[in-house]
Amino acid sequence: MFGLEVKCPGCQDANLKNGRTNFSKNKVLFPIFDVDGPPSWCMVKTMICCCCKQRYGANDGATLVQIPQYAALAYPVKTKYALANKNCHLGRSATDLLDMLMPTYGNGDLCSRLLCNAINRGYLRSVSSYYAYNGRRVNKHHEHIQKNGEYMRVFPPLGDGIRDLHDEASNSNNHPWGVSDFDRHTREIQDVGCTRLYAEDHTHEVTKNYYRRRQILVGAFALWDVAMETGEIATAVLVPSTKTKDLSHAAITLHQRPHFNPKAMYSDRWPIKVDYWEKVFGNKLEGRLGLFHFTQRLTKTMRK
């Protein structure tokens, strides 16, 4: 479309040469699912490197990230979500929704239902328009094409597929700046410092974002996190138990940051393990029991 030369993502020595499209070879089209209507259908050209003989899709993220933005934006998919060896892609409005929902709720099933419901709504609009228009012109008209009948052969991914897709996209370096979202978020957390106070705690709700098989695989019993008075998170690590030995490495690493020098800490179990915290952060560190747990220890001793 734009007359651009694209370097081979593998060897970086030669330009890619145009091959055949998926339609000219197999008479199939590539779908892009979105949340605002039926899928878009694309003819995708295969591109071949004359040096290493590797084949790449013209809509692969590794290919799109090498061209200027005015050309890459012509393809309605973010480069990090334009994953290779997939039978479909998700459009920008769908992945914008994913980027907001998945980190907080991990609800891949909801996103999958939204994509399927968009196809249903698009079909109903098409049917009502078809019969309303043809009913005025002719007495007897042809039947409207059945939904999921003659042309529809692929469907949006299910909840597990949506979660895996988001994980792959989060670890993809196919950005103009060449850094994945995972690495960028990790460095943002590592940059959080402290000069006054912080609070440490275990939370179990986060582990529910892992479906059961993966939760057992990674041993995610809880998440140990450290929060600042500004609301920032300084560290967040999955731990197999709430024992101090399982969070010790993360705590020591946190203390080794040159800009992390707290004067006080809040904990849900103070003064338990006070010797450990003084050994890590020094004996000048003041410890306090969190206000919620302080009131709980009072109210639980009262008669009902």
pLDDT tens digits, one per residue of 109-125: 888 999 999 988 888 88
pLDDT in tens, 259-300: 888 888 898 888 888 888 888 888 888 888 888 888 888 898
Domains of the chain: 1-190 (no CATH), 192-299 (3.30.420.10)
Q: Are 119 and 32 in contact (CB under 8 A)?
A: no
- For 33, the 3-state DSSP assignment is strand
Neighbours of 141 (CB within 10 A): 12
Nearest to 173 by CA among 44, 4, 60: 60
Query: What crossing angle do the helices spanning 108-137 and 159-170 adopt, rounded to 10°?
Result: 110
Residues in the chain: 304
Could you tell me how far CA 29 lies from the centroid of its own chain? 26
pLDDT higher at 104 or 98: 98
Mean model confidence pLDDT for the chain? 86
Q: Is the pLDDT of residue 151 over 70?
A: no
Whole-number pLDDT of residue 226: 92
Residue 150 tokens, joined: 């003659």
Whole-number pLDDT of residue 18: 87
Q: Are 196 and 207 in contact (CB under 8 A)?
A: no
Whole-number pLDDT of residue 150: 64
Q: Are 224 and 231 in contact (CB under 8 A)?
A: no
Q: Is the pLDDT of residue 137 over 80?
A: no
Q: How far apart are CA 285 and CA 287, in angstroms?
A: 6
- For 20, the 3-state DSSP assignment is strand
In this structure, the dihedral spanned by the alpha carbons of residues 128, 133, 138 and 139, taken in order and rounded to 10 degrees, is 40
pLDDT in tens, 169-186: 999 999 888 899 999 999
| Residue 19 vs residues 23, 41, 46, 74, 258: alpha-carbon distances, Å | 12, 19, 5, 20, 54
Please give the model's pTM, rounded to 2 decimal places.
0.74
* High-pLDDT (> 70) share of the chain, %: 93
**Helices (DSSP H) in 87-190: which residue ranges?**
92-105, 108-137, 159-170, 181-190
Whole-number pLDDT of residue 177: 87
